[in-house]
Amino acid sequence: MVQTRPAYDTVSVGSLEFWAKTPEEREERFRILRDERPVSWQRPAEGSMLPQEDGAGFWAVTRHADIQTVSKNPKDFCSGQGVMIEDVPPDILEAASSFLAMDAPRHTQLRKLVSAAFTPKQVKRIDEQIKDQARRITDELIEVGDCDFVDQVARKLPMWTIYEMCGLPAERRSDAAHAADGMVSWSDEDVRQGKEPAELLNDSLITLINIGIDLAEDRRAHPRDDLMTNLVQAEVDGVKLTDEDIAAFFVLLSVAGNDTTRNTITRTLEALTRFPDQRKILQADYEGTIGVAIEEFVRWASPVMTFKRVATRDVELQGQQIREGDWVVMYYASGNRDERAFADPYTFDVRRTPNQHVGFGGGGPHFCMGNVLAKTQLRALFDQLLHRVPDLQGGEPVQVVGNFVDGVKSMPCTLNL
Amino acid sequence: MKVCVDYDKCTGLGLCESLAPEFFEVQDDGSLELLQTEGAESQRAELEEAVRACPTEALSLEG
Ligand code: HEM
Ligand code: SF4
């Protein structure tokens, strides 16, 4: 039986024009979809490096509860056929995504090797170093004065943390971070500087892979007590990981650990500027409020806007017939403003409880591995900023155009000391 | 009440440990160790929060 597809939804959430809008403008469309067509059939995403193979289109899932349903059900909605809203060449997918784009059992095995370095106990071990680094970054900010907040502050701590954990030599860190940016911002013309999207992605990827392979070789020759050494020594079913496997981990960590946290930091300063009463709550009792507040920082920023799954069989969701092989895209940014899950979703409320946001994913086996680490960084950095530069103000953010991470290229700040 | 872990679902990330460290501890090899299996009534709220926070629905309470 041939089923016909519904017509493409007139409320588009896949075009480049859509992604160029501010989060508030995008939210106007999400709201319509959540209320009227929570699972909608959308035109193929624009601006792709590869046109979607079957050219059909994709399902947009916009409600909080439905995002959780898809996310927690990996048997029906798998990751192994890609997780981005565009088709990425398969060799790139494998070299760049590591276990992000895998399913059980391989996902489970590989993830376990790395996740042991990200547990609360392990993160606590580097807590003091992260605090130290946050203090230094704030020292420098005070020295420099009014500046671009993204470049001077937000980008530094996430980059430092992830490369410190990997033991990357200092002289390669800036190259690595630059390449990590290219991996997520290929659709932005400013970032591309005349390159084609696929070319930028490819160049960035090769840079990161080479750095990852060098690191792996170095640790085989000179083992240390660090994450990379654990990986070269690890075995899965009696087989050691290859340098390519390890390089793919490195790429994944560089991409997942950098601009997600950076954009949360930037959007949080923006929010604390717009909602001064919330800043006062934090300043009055930082230790007592920050634990709950951090969840609101992540909900508010929702730096990862989308992830895709592919249906492994015909399934029904909110009355829509999803077919085997269909793309199903979870819109975390929409789920985090769903009035069914959050009272006053448009209010930045640092005391919001409960706060079951989907900023780190909707649950299930791929739930963000770096969530404890990201929260540790946010806690350390805002402790410094809010106490030492209490009137720090963010200006107008300049956005990256893209369908994956809600990136902020730059945002002026004034210290008012 | 009894604390139960479905080890097939657990991915060892330790969100439960950050909420209820007297019950849960992820080991260096990434496996979760249950430090106590019996929770007192006064610990119910804390345990329920850990159950809710677990991203893979690996935890449950009995009784
Ligand atoms: C505020 C900052 C961050 C946000 C909002 C965030 C968000 C996310 C999201 C939405 C996912 C996908 C979850 C899913 O598919 O269910 C994810 C996965 C992941 N994140 Fe994060 N992340 C952040 C920081 C970090 C950091 C600092 C790291 C560590 C280095 C990291 C490492 C990872 C990894 C490795 C995955 C893939 C997990 C898997 O596929 O099993 N993230 N993150
Ligand atoms: S939160 Fe859930 S998945 Fe994570 S360690 Fe605890 S039981 Fe396992």
* Interface with A, mutate which of B18, B31, B32 (most A CBs under 10 A): B18
State both tokens at A202.
């490819």
Position A242 in a domain: yes
Q: Is residue A7 part of a domain?
A: no
Residue pair A398/A296 in contact by the 8 Å Cβ criterion:
no
Number of domains in chain A: 1
- Residue in chain A nearest B55 by alpha carbon: A363
One pLDDT digit (tens) per residue for chain A, 417 residues: 456 788 999 999 998 889 889 999 999 999 999 999 999 999 988 765 555 666 689 999 999 999 999 999 999 999 999 898 877 777 777 777 889 999 999 898 888 888 888 888 889 989 999 999 999 999 999 999 999 999 999 999 999 999 999 999 999 998 998 898 888 776 677 777 777 777 888 889 999 999 999 999 999 999 998 888 988 988 877 888 889 889 999 999 998 899 899 999 999 999 999 999 999 999 999 999 999 999 999 999 999 999 999 999 999 999 999 999 999 999 999 999 999 999 999 999 999 999 999 999 999 999 999 999 999 999 999 999 999 999 999 999 998 888 888 889 999 999 999
Interchain CB contact of A106 with B (< 8 Å):
no
Question: Which residue in the set A72, A118, A356 is minimally distant from B13, CB to CB?
Answer: A118
Rounded mean pLDDT of chain B? 93
Task: Give the closest of A115, A121, A372 to B11, CB-based.
Answer: A115
Query: Is A392 contained in some domain?
Result: yes
Half-sphere exposure of A346 (CA within 13 A, CB side): 6
| ipTM of predicted assembly, 2 dp | 0.87
CB-CB under 8 Å, B13 with A372 = yes
Between helix A371-388 and helix A127-144 the angle, nearest 10°, is: 40
Cβ–Cβ gap B13/A363 under 8 Å: no
Mean pLDDT, to the nearest integer, of B19-23? Answer: 94
pLDDT at A371: 94
**A292 in reach of chain B (CB within 8 A):** no
Q: Does some domain include residue A6?
A: no
Each residue's pLDDT tens digit, A38-65:
999 999 887 655 556 666 899 999 999 9
Query: What's the rounded Cα separation, in Å, for the pair A245 and A213?
Result: 9
Chain B residues contacting A, CB < 8 Å?
11-15, 17-18, 21, 25-30, 52, 55-57
DSSP assignment letter at A117 = G
Residue A333 resides in a domain: yes
Residue type for position B2? K
Cα B43 to ligand 2 centroid, rounded to whole Å: 18
Tokens matching residue A370: 């770096």
Ligand 1 close to Cβ of residue A361 (< 6 A):
yes
pLDDT, tens digit, for every residue of B26-50? 988 888 999 999 999 999 999 999 9
Residue at A11 is within a domain: no
A164 within 8 A of A182, measured Cβ to Cβ? no
Q: What is the pLDDT of residues A362-389, one digit of tens each?
A: 999 999 999 999 999 999 999 999 999 9
Q: What is the per-residue pLDDT for A180?
A: 86
Q: Compute the nearest-CA separation of B1 from chain A (Å).
A: 24
> Tell me, what's the pLDDT at A50?
58
Write b or e for each residue in B33-63: b if 16 or more Cβ atoms lie within 10 A of its Cβ, otherwise e. eeeeeebeeebeeebbebbeebbbebbeeee
The preferred substitution site among B24, B29, B49, B60 for testing ligand 2, maximizing ligand atoms within 8 Å of CB, is: B24
Which of A284, A309, A283 lies closest to A385, judged by CA? Answer: A283
Residue A328 one-letter amino acid: V
Alpha-carbon distances of A239 from A148, A233, B60, rounded to whole Å: 47, 10, 35
pLDDT in tens, A321-353: 999 999 999 999 999 999 999 999 999 999 999
Q: C-alpha distances in angstroms, A72 versus A68, A143, A362?
A: 6, 47, 7
- Our separate counts of H helices and E strands in chain A read 18, 14
pLDDT at A1: 45
From chain A, pick out residues whose CB is under 8 angstroms from the CB of B21.
Answer: 120
Separation CA A346–CA A54 (nearest Å): 38
CATH code of residue A62: 1.10.630.10
| Alpha carbons A153 and A156: distance in angstroms, whole number | 6
Its pTM stands at: 0.94
**What pLDDT does residue B30 have?**
82
Q: Residues A93, A95, A99, A104: is their CA dihedral positive or negative?
A: positive
Q: How does DSSP assign A263-285, residue by residue?
A: HHHHHHHHHHHH-HHHHHHHHH-
Answer whether A14 touches B (CB < 8 Å).
no
Q: Domain range holding A129?
A: 16-414
CATH 3.90.1330.10 fits domain B2-62: no
CB contact under 8 A, B26 and A121: yes
Q: How far apart are CA A148 and CA A409, in angstroms?
A: 9
